[in-house]
Structure 1
């Protein structure tokens, strides 16, 4: 630091050549000290009047950033801004004030590899902190999931994983399903490729949030409102955040499994054009275009538009996917304190013969020995099956800063799905062990509409008490889900295997035949003529108290109220408590407690099935329970490498489980499902371990391991909750940037490992990648999956599907 008496200024001088990006570990403390450490570490000159920093504290800085981004993050919450005054110098200035004296926060500039993200105000700065585009890192430093503002992962007393934009690009991930398949502790299972289901810690994942807003339900009880086809297209999002364990505070439903948060791509302050062209196995072609930048000279009005197209066949014959997608967002700094944004997305998805099933056998898994096993390039699904869906989502957001420490944010989102499906499956009964077994051929047609409307508002701020700074947040959210469909069903009994394979799976039902099916022309369901309608709302609050320099205690609670299909309402208060302790500048331990409240949005059929739906008993008693978690998190290698270890124990009471002794049944207006029985207690325990980030300047790693044991204690035996889910799972991915003459080449390799389960053998899937930077605009890459061509099954309950055999994807990416 060089202080001059005449100017009364502080100048942090560079010590060597200007660096494009480095790893920093600047502890929280006086701003002047933090600026001095940053200037030395980044080799930049920071010029400011000494009076500007008097009495101001800095939150510190950990991680790898460009110099402007590092300075932006160091100044968050200080009411200071900066301008670049030279090639290697930055000048600090006090943010201007309005006529009323309020601080007018200027934009915080966050440098990426291609363009600058705008972060006007507190909410904008929060979002900018979480963005991973252009960082070229496998580790995210901040996340919104588990809160309503960006927090360092170390400060979140939960188990959280961030799948960054870099890892998404490395593996050519294009869907939410494929993204979650890379996340520690998540098990992706599916009857088919179109309707995926996700499990974490032994339980079904249901909550999906976008930009930390009100949760969108991926599944409601036994019925799926989104039904897979409504899952957002990943092309619109910067990265994926996953919190494992119950989130009773913000989600409204304290699902024991966890919450998925998608963070949207945002407009940039610099004009940029990005494109990507893909070509891969089985005639898989895809193209993407991404354009963003300011719309006026001052940069207060910004926009971004993303478009995508895909035409792909599959490794099993007769199947294909056609997809057209668009996304647009516009942001406006309505003033120094207020930012408004709005946008929409549209996805037109058309799939043919979309299921990759083996033979289906009611009440068991796999193929009976006396049935033929089809090749991996075949499927038991009828050749004429199809599913078409159009998904429209539009959203708006407003954020206002009352002061540097207080912010109000309001989110509104609506998602609409219009779908058409013609489907059929061949089933063999549990005891069909005859030499020439016969079964039944079930066919149905479905045309339906579904929508979800979500609203979320939160007020968050900081205050000083007893000489320490504390934080508080309060909020409310509301959502409404509705779905209606007509589902005519036509079944044929006594169909032999040969009859099905040689005739029925090729013979598409005619319109005249469909008109004779049961339920033809009828809309609604057993819940009512208007179909499925649910509403939920709640109010929450949290208080974070720093009772000592290294210790923070967080207490909070939420009152949730839900209205189910029959108009019945149920409400409950759910408490939350956590404590974090900074063992050192690099390590934090934590413990947290939350309660589980899962009201049944769908009434579920229990007891014995009956042909007359009016004779079937239904239940809507909620599931309750407790979630305990403790762990340790560390920032290594100057914050560029993150480590985490957590242990957990979960109890759930009054849980509905499939009664497979009756096999799958058909309930008019409800669909094909299982009757349910009630498990009085379910438990899940285990641990997660994760390491993500830079080992060296050239070597990065993303690795995670989960051990999970579940018990379904409805009987003395206490078997596992999910017979097909493994106790052990691990994912490892690593990349290395070659030096010297090959510095433009980056190589990657990894493996996904799933241990044995009660119903499925374990397997390992190996992947590899290579990316070559042709010039500063173009990069050519290739990703190879399942290099060993491993045959494995992904399964749920009584159905099983093959995973993809060996495949590749070549990608050309450009940025201008």
Structure 2
């Protein structure tokens, strides 16, 4: 099922070097591990995002090549504080938030925080809208000077009319150049989703050097969608396409725990660091998905979304797929940072994991079938190693190796799970400080090799499974390139971030595509620049900001047909005004020059999504 524009789904939060967001390893923070989750908590409750650089297999088990993002939820503050926020923007977008933190006893050992957030968003696309209230609460208690516990709970609801599947292309791969407001769904498209979470963590400081931590969480997502979307490439002679109608119901739950010991120890006359832990996750997935193709054949120049809504039974005459799945993972991990000499550190670690995944699938309709798939991995070892050499007090050079192992959930045409993805991540680089530590800089060369990576099997039907192609684990692939970043306060009140990434991918071994790019929809070049400047003197209440995200072109090859997506540079701007010590107003102008572009092009039958046209968002924020 293709994700609706502007909506979040049940996706792992990760970033890979095979995409265009690249990360640098060797920054393991042994003092803090919040736990790694697989569902998306509500964004309003997130305080910050922490990035695990490099393959994530050491702590998470499933070693994505680029890393993983750890979303740290908001916690009670040490003092009483309240913030209020109101937002209004283009396309009738409105929002409000109240966030209050309180000290609840005289000793200051009991603290609480509560948050309410509400969004009511329409879109630049016709008919599309979304309403999303979020409620969050957390309590924290210092049991003693050395022990702290924290409880939290969140709830997010989403209701609205989504745009599913995006836009089609010509059957020749060409761009239809449709208006950005084009909506090829139905007036009865609807989504009802909920996301609820329970959180607990405890930390105990054993002594000045050693700390014990425990984290537990339970997340539950429910999704109920009924929609029409486009699912046919357009013949230039007929200018016709067709709607697929679909029904999707999903209940997904994940529970997880993590316990770890971190600390410092002395050996051979030097100070070293250690982390040792165990974690376990259990996920259940219960879904029903049905679709019927060619329900509404239409002329592209006379589309009317107000057509008859089919019953569920009508939809299921095409295909109805009921799937129940369970995934369990247990792992023990250890990592040590050894100070070999004054300038040289060695980081070594390994994780031993046990995986088990079971899927039961019953398909009815035009092609009935029943299948059961099982995947097991016992005592799988994921090693990690790196060397860091301090060239001087400001600059360090490093090399690293990370192992990649990732069980995959995609199915082939026979309904079988693909083999686990395996590989290796190599990296070398420099990191340092400029201008007395006010500016950070880094440069890295990387190479990632993978085997058994899931790829769309375009020899199957475009509705092979879940309204998309089936998958195959074809050949061996490689991603390599370089990454450079500089960020910090380059002058008084002037902050700057600039980054450039070059990424090249290709098939190393493949029957028909050897030597070609296997991930052609990932741009080779990506440049990011953002700067803010607080005006001096009597104008210091004003901060100006601006930046650009630029990338080279990409394409999607489907058989002999190629769908291209040109390069782009999208500029954004910011003006912030400090009204007084409590209130600030900020105006964000996104896509300042109203660049017309596709944020993604994934297929011919659908999957082309326009990026946002020029839009503004005004935010008024008060802090007390």
Match of 2:376 in 1: 569
Matched, 1:418 2:222: yes
Q: Distance in 2 between matches of 1:312 and 1:474?
A: 45
1:359 touches 1:380 (CA, 8 Å); kept in 2?
A: no
Match of 1:550 in 2: 343
> Deviation of residue 597 (structure 1)?
0.5
Helix, strand or coil at the partner of 2:44: helix
What TM-score, normalized to structure 1? 0.68
Q: Distance in 2 between matches of 1:684 and 1:523?
A: 35
Q: Which whole-Å deviations, capped at 9, do the CAs of 1:689-714 have from their partners, x for residues lacking one?
A: 11122112311012221110011232
521 and 679 in structure 1: CA distance in 2 versus 1, 3 angstrom threshold? closer
Matched, 1:454 2:256: yes
> Deviation of residue 794 (structure 1)?
1.3
Q: Distance in 1 between matches of 2:83 and 2:529?
A: 29
Match of 2:515 in 1: 718
Q: Pick which of 733-742 and 705-714 moved more.
A: 705-714
Q: Distance in 2 between matches of 1:340 and 1:365?
A: 56
Match of 1:84 in 2: none
Helix, strand or coil at the partner of 1:789: coil
Q: Which of these residues, 27, 32, 36, is aligned with residue 215 of structure 1?
A: 36
Gap runs ≥5 in structure 2 = 359-372, 556-563
Match of 1:482 in 2: 284
Higher helix share: 1
Match of 1:650 in 2: 448
Q: Distance in 2 between matches of 1:323 and 1:264?
A: 18
413 and 569 in structure 1: CA distance in 2 versus 1, 3 angstrom threshold? same
Q: Which whole-Å deviations, capped at 9, do the CAs of 1:622-675 have from their partners, x for residues lacking one?
A: 1110000111111223322211111110000122211224341244xxx22212
Q: Distance in 1 between matches of 2:3 and 2:527?
A: 19
Superposition pairs of residues 460-475 of structure 1, within 5 angstroms: 460-475=262-277
Q: Distance in 2 between matches of 1:453 and 1:657?
A: 29
> Deviation of residue 791 (structure 1)?
0.1
Q: Which whole-Å deviations, capped at 9, do the CAs of 1:745-793 have from their partners, x for residues lacking one?
A: 1111111111112321001111111111111111111110101000010
1:428 touches 1:437 (CA, 8 Å); kept in 2?
A: no
2:483 touches 2:500 (CA, 8 Å); kept in 1?
A: yes
Helix, strand or coil at the partner of 1:776: coil
Helix, strand or coil at the partner of 2:412: strand
204 and 657 in structure 1: CA distance in 2 versus 1, 3 angstrom threshold? farther
> Deviation of residue 199 (structure 1)?
5.3
Superposition pairs of residues 68-147 of structure 1, within 5 angstroms: none
1:438 touches 1:494 (CA, 8 Å); kept in 2?
A: no
Q: Determine which structure has more spread, i.e. the larger CA radius of gyration.
A: 1
Helix, strand or coil at the partner of 1:674: coil
Match of 2:206 in 1: 402
268 and 434 in structure 1: CA distance in 2 versus 1, 3 angstrom threshold? closer
> Deviation of residue 417 (structure 1)?
0.8
Matched, 1:660 2:475: no
Q: Which of these residues, 280, 283, 298, is aligned with residue 92 of structure 2?
A: 283
Match of 1:770 in 2: 575
Match of 2:400 in 1: 592
Helix, strand or coil at the partner of 2:59: coil
Q: Which whole-Å deviations, capped at 9, do the CAs of 1:7-33 have from their partners, x for residues lacking one?
A: xxxxxxxxxxxxxxxxxxxxxxxxxxx
Q: Which of these residues, 587, 591, 614, is aligned with residue 782 of structure 1?
A: 587
Q: Distance in 2 between matches of 1:699 and 1:624?
A: 44
Matched, 1:391 2:192: no
Helix, strand or coil at the partner of 1:662: coil
> Deviation of residue 686 (structure 1)?
0.7
Matched, 1:301 2:105: no
Match of 1:609 in 2: none
502 and 709 in structure 1: CA distance in 2 versus 1, 3 angstrom threshold? closer
Q: Distance in 1 between matches of 2:519 and 2:74?
A: 36
Q: Distance in 2 between matches of 1:547 and 1:639?
A: 25
Superposition pairs of residues 245-644 of structure 1, within 5 angstroms: 245-355=54-164, 357-359=166-168, 367=175, 373-429=177-233, 433=235, 435-436=237-238, 439-492=241-294, 495-497=297-299, 501-503=302-304, 505-510=305-310, 513-518=311-316, 524-525=322-323, 531-565=324-358, 566-571=373-378, 572-600=380-408, 602=409, 604-606=411-413, 616-644=414-442
> Deviation of residue 434 (structure 1)?
6.2
Helix, strand or coil at the partner of 1:250: helix
Helix, strand or coil at the partner of 1:515: helix
Q: Pick which of 775-784 and 714-723 moved more.
A: 714-723
Matched, 1:202 2:15: no
708 and 741 in structure 1: CA distance in 2 versus 1, 3 angstrom threshold? same
Matched, 1:815 2:623: yes
What TM-score, normalized to structure 2? 0.88
Higher strand share: 2
2:523 touches 2:552 (CA, 8 Å); kept in 1?
A: yes
Helix, strand or coil at the partner of 1:507: coil
Alignment length (residue pairs): 586
204 and 797 in structure 1: CA distance in 2 versus 1, 3 angstrom threshold? same
Q: Distance in 1 between matches of 2:242 and 2:182?
A: 20
> Deviation of residue 743 (structure 1)?
1.1
Superposition pairs of residues 232-247 of structure 1, within 5 angstroms: 232-247=41-56
Q: Which whole-Å deviations, capped at 9, do the CAs of 1:329-388 have from their partners, x for residues lacking one?
A: 1111101111000101111112313348222568x75646xxxx4311222233321222
Q: Which whole-Å deviations, capped at 9, do the CAs of 1:62-108 have from their partners, x for residues lacking one?
A: xxxxxxxxxxxxxxxxxxxxxxxxxxxxxxxxxxxxxxxxxxxxxxx
Q: Distance in 1 between matches of 2:218 and 2:239?
A: 48
> Deviation of residue 467 (structure 1)?
1.7
663 and 486 in structure 1: CA distance in 2 versus 1, 3 angstrom threshold? closer
Helix, strand or coil at the partner of 1:741: helix
Q: Distance in 2 between matches of 1:661 and 1:488?
A: 22
1:348 touches 1:389 (CA, 8 Å); kept in 2?
A: yes
2:590 touches 2:615 (CA, 8 Å); kept in 1?
A: yes
Q: Distance in 2 between matches of 1:625 and 1:427?
A: 35
Q: Distance in 1 between matches of 2:344 and 2:114?
A: 44
Q: Distance in 2 between matches of 1:436 and 1:563?
A: 50
Superposition pairs of residues 35-54 of structure 1, within 5 angstroms: none
1:359 touches 1:366 (CA, 8 Å); kept in 2?
A: no
> Deviation of residue 568 (structure 1)?
3.5
> Deviation of residue 617 (structure 1)?
4.8
Q: Distance in 2 between matches of 1:290 and 1:508?
A: 44
Q: Distance in 2 between matches of 1:765 and 1:709?
A: 22
> Deviation of residue 472 (structure 1)?
1.3
1:245 touches 1:258 (CA, 8 Å); kept in 2?
A: yes
2:104 touches 2:110 (CA, 8 Å); kept in 1?
A: yes
Give every structure 1 segment of 4 or more consecutive aligned residues whose post-TM-superposition deviation is greater than 6 Å. Answer: 204-207, 519-523
635 and 487 in structure 1: CA distance in 2 versus 1, 3 angstrom threshold? same
Q: Distance in 1 between matches of 2:551 and 2:86?
A: 32
Q: Distance in 2 between matches of 1:658 and 1:286?
A: 39
2:291 touches 2:467 (CA, 8 Å); kept in 1?
A: no
Q: Distance in 1 between matches of 2:187 and 2:614?
A: 24
Matched, 1:700 2:495: yes
Match of 1:186 in 2: none
Q: Distance in 1 between matches of 2:236 and 2:491?
A: 62
Helix, strand or coil at the partner of 1:328: strand
> Deviation of residue 216 (structure 1)?
2.4
Helix, strand or coil at the partner of 1:712: strand
Helix, strand or coil at the partner of 2:153: strand
Q: Distance in 2 between matches of 1:534 and 1:338?
A: 33
242 and 341 in structure 1: CA distance in 2 versus 1, 3 angstrom threshold? same
270 and 215 in structure 1: CA distance in 2 versus 1, 3 angstrom threshold? closer
Q: Distance in 1 between matches of 2:538 and 2:256?
A: 53
